[in-house]
Structure 1
Amino acid sequence: MSETEAPQDVLPVLVVGAGPVGLTAALALRSHGLPVVLLEAEPEDRVRPGSRALFVHRESLQLLGRISPGLDRTLVDHGVVWPTRRTVYRGREVFARTYPPRTPSADFVPPFTSLRQVETERHLLAACLRAGVRFRWGTPVRGVRAFEDAVEVDTERGPLRARYVIGADGARSSVRRSQEITMEGDRSEAFHVVVDIQEDADDPMPLERVFTYEHPGLGGRSVMRVPFAGGFQLDVQCKDDDTPEDWADEAAVRRWVPRVVPAKYAERVLWVSRYHFLHLVADRFADAHRRVLLVGEASHLFPPFGARGMNSGIADSVAAADSVAEALNTPGRRLRAVDEFALLRREAALFNSDAARTALDHLRPKRRLTRLRQAAGAALAPVLPSCGEWLERAPYGPRNGARTNPRGRY
């Protein structure tokens, strides 16, 4: 008898957390024909401000299209694919590339789509409802106890039992803490400021992603502008002695925005946030009984440069769902299926953490030699295009090299 034939009061699987990663896990489980209950601490009408994760990469789109046919196309149609990327060094362009438009087709998946995370979540939620995922909103999880044959989940609305739990409940994960799984790594004390700005539809900015090293209008602070559907995001790298009051306060933001983009956008600010560079990875991605699996920010925290967070979480979730489905249907492979998930996704997380650290070393060089290399690269870019290409790619860290789940690079 397979584990899917469990007693009626024992669910096959519970997902904790209704962010994009938890919603993906629920969709992936439904693609295997498994009944899914998703627990979310917040109410159904919660408000999720800000753009948060902007990019859904091609690999993630392909995974989402696999578990929910048509979802990839929905996200592409509601996002934007900017055709131009530019890099500027101290006010002088050192790299620019514009990709020719491609005729849309059913089998073409663009390299990414850019839309606010709240919109990505909206489409994921709609797909989950169509797929028959059952939601329990306003149900905080207080603790999880794993046993050899099942998991007990203590919620504020009563206990639940399941064969497996996928923890997608974010950086402060109660699922992770209940298993005494620790996060290992470090955090940069310096911060970046992120600002969402509504586009002026009558006179929009060029549809291009621009990274500027040592922007002269911001006292040598680097800044990136990234379009998303309906607006764009500014990400400013603050200096070590900067204070949030001078840069991350909304009034302060309105003062410096006109130094980067036309002054009218100072009155179109939608959201302001700040973040530190985090390099944290869980020491284990599953509990000792292989009944609790961690995905997304419950298991790793990366800086947003390189768009590794949500995209790696999507790959985590699909891999976790595949492992749970295999474990439920083939009990003899139960331990191996979960162990493979935990090993491969932790390897991917460690790679992403190291790649983000490489990006940080470039963005915040501690050695004078690194700054000299950047200045030399900028000087040589007009005659050696490879130097401009290096300056363009380096702020995001390497993307290849991890031995990850074959179903998803991240």
Structure 2
Amino acid sequence: MSLVVVVGAGPVGLSAALALRGHGIPVVVLEADPEDRERPGSRALFVHRETLGLLDAMLPGLAAEITSYGRTWHTRRTLYRGREVYARTFPPPSGPPPFTSLRQTDTERFLRAACEGAGVEFVWGARVAGLSTSETEVRLTGEDGRVWTGAYAVAADGARSAVRRELGIPMEGTHGEGFHVVVDVADVPGAELPLERVFHYEHPGVGGRSVMRVPFTGGFQVDLQCRDDDAQEEYGTEEAVRRWLPGVVGDGYGERIMWVSTYRFLRKVAASFTDPHGRVLLAGEAAHLFPPFGARGMNSGIADAAAAAEAIAAGTGEAVARFAEVRRAAGLFNSAAAGTALDHLRPHRRTVRVRQRAAAALAPVLPWCGSWLEHAPYGPRNGAPAVAGRKY
């Protein structure tokens, strides 16, 4: 088959390239950044079992390589105003783990090595500035005038996708009020925190703001939910983090901070996942933006990548149209699920806050109340449209 151009060398673009090579299709990856770019921060942490299965289908053994490096914890704990309302420890799985947790930079490292081994060509410093499609090909032009032509293109160039912009495809959806602060913290050797995920509603150590702690290989991530009227300079700078972090994880971590970032809840889905000629397929954040709770972003993006490769390998307009229908349905489901989670995390209705308080009070005698408090912040997992084929 003719060459396929993948735009973007993040985890979704790398997965698309690897999947295409698995179908025997020649691939070139265009990345706007230089080859020696720095990629600080964990960003996406979780690679879920379903995603591991997709990656292993692209390159057998890749899932085992990633999981052997990542961390899988078996205890989930939820607290409310300093009191535990849910805790459950699961036995180690007999087969593939339900997920593995590692920084996105490490996931990309494994994927890039797999792509290089599979014969994927990379072009670094290739920022797309123009694009045209026809019934038979895609033509991409770089800022420096270079031109790449392929039978298809996969747009995996992120939230500010140049490809999506050139196609004139709008993003549809909403954004939430307020912001969250994400902090990567390195472990203190010999004094690692328990290997468990902890969600704490209205944590007394940070003025009643909710906070989550998640381990990854080499450290942990803290996600602080700020209030609508909080100022970013009071919570979202490294200096500010040093002030409030001890109230969450104790002393000794101020000098272990690796990365600080802020984000707002965006829920947006592209109006179309392909161009009118069916030659460009959108994937990952070029196609949808979700809040990080529930780990829907990268996992759904890799599912997009796998489905795009299958459609391109089929080589028909019907297959591409089916890809666009299926993956947009999944995107809309994930967007709605993220909205449900947002309504729980940032309740603007007094009735929701009252339900949370009542559930916390009743959790010791009614375990399902604690279970509801544990699961609600991540949104529903089941019930995706049957057309989507999978939960992401």
Into which bin does the TM-score normalised by the smaller protein fall? over 0.9
SS in 2 for 1:235: strand
Residue 407 (structure 1) shift: 6.3
Aligned equivalent of 1:292: 280
Aligned equivalent of 1:225: 213
Aligned equivalent of 2:234: 246
Q: Kindly provide the CA deviation profile for residues 291-318 of structure 1, in whole angstroms up to 9, marking residues without a partner as x.
A: 0110000010000000000000000000
Aligned equivalent of 2:348: 366
In the alignment, structure 1 residue 54 sits paired with structure 2 residue 45: yes
Normalised to the residue count of structure 2, the TM-score between the two structures is 0.98
Contact 2:176–2:264 (CA<8 Å) still a contact in 1? Answer: yes
Any residues of structure 2 matched to 1:19-168 within 5 Å, and which? 19-102=10-93, 108-155=95-142, 156-168=144-156
Distance 1:262-1:77 versus aligned 2 partners, 3 A rule? same
Distance 1:178-1:292 versus aligned 2 partners, 3 A rule? same
Give the aligned length: 391
> How far apart in 2 are the matches of 1:127 and 1:408?
25
SS in 2 for 1:132: coil
> How far apart in 2 are the matches of 1:167 and 1:324?
13
Aligned equivalent of 2:157: 169
> How far apart in 1 are the matches of 2:186 and 2:382?
33
Contiguous gaps of at least 5 residues in structure 1: 5-10, 328-333
Cα RMSD (Å): 1.1
Contact 2:329–2:388 (CA<8 Å) still a contact in 1? Answer: no
> How far apart in 2 are the matches of 1:407 and 1:90?
39
Residue 100 (structure 1) shift: 2.2
Contact 2:74–2:91 (CA<8 Å) still a contact in 1? Answer: yes
Q: Select the residue among 364, 368, 382 that pairs with 1:386.
A: 368
Residue 188 (structure 1) shift: 1.4
SS in 2 for 1:377: helix
Contiguous gaps of at least 5 residues in structure 2: none
Q: Kindly provide the CA deviation profile for residues 225-276 of structure 1, in whole angstroms up to 9, marking residues without a partner as x.
A: 0000000000000001000000001101000000011210122111000000
Any residues of structure 2 matched to 1:182-221 within 5 Å, and which? 182-221=170-209
Q: Aligned partner of 1:315: which letter? A: A
Residue 403 (structure 1) shift: 2.5
Aligned equivalent of 1:331: none
SS in 2 for 1:190: coil
Q: Aligned partner of 2:361: which letter? A: A
Contact 1:148–1:289 (CA<8 Å) still a contact in 2? Answer: yes
> How far apart in 2 are the matches of 1:322 and 1:102?
30
Contact 1:60–1:408 (CA<8 Å) still a contact in 2? Answer: no
SS in 2 for 1:24: helix
Any residues of structure 2 matched to 1:5-20 within 5 Å, and which? 11-20=2-11
Q: Select the residue among 242, 246, 250 that pairs with 1:258.
A: 246
Q: Kindly provide the CA deviation profile for residues 368-398 of structure 1, in whole angstroms up to 9, marking residues without a partner as x.
A: 1101100111111111111100000000000
Aligned equivalent of 1:330: none
Displacement over 6 Å in runs of 4+: none
Identity %: 62
Residue 405 (structure 1) shift: 6.4
> How far apart in 1 are the matches of 2:102 and 2:148?
36
> How far apart in 2 are the matches of 1:235 and 1:298?
24
Q: Aligned partner of 2:156: which letter? A: A
Residue 189 (structure 1) shift: 2.8
Contact 2:29–2:123 (CA<8 Å) still a contact in 1? Answer: yes
Q: Aligned partner of 1:153: which letter? A: L
SS in 2 for 1:56: strand
Residue 157 (structure 1) shift: 5.0
> How far apart in 2 are the matches of 1:196 and 1:207?
15
Distance 1:405-1:316 versus aligned 2 partners, 3 A rule? farther
Q: Aligned partner of 1:306: which letter? A: G
Contact 1:345–1:404 (CA<8 Å) still a contact in 2? Answer: no
> How far apart in 1 are the matches of 2:133 and 2:369?
53
Contact 2:3–2:28 (CA<8 Å) still a contact in 1? Answer: no
> How far apart in 2 are the matches of 1:408 and 1:66?
16
Contact 2:384–2:390 (CA<8 Å) still a contact in 1? Answer: no
Q: Select the residue among 342, 352, 358 that pairs with 1:376.
A: 358
SS in 2 for 1:85: strand
> How far apart in 2 are the matches of 1:174 and 1:354?
26
Residue 404 (structure 1) shift: 5.8
Normalised to the residue count of structure 1, the TM-score between the two structures is 0.94
Distance 1:232-1:404 versus aligned 2 partners, 3 A rule? farther
Aligned equivalent of 1:314: 302
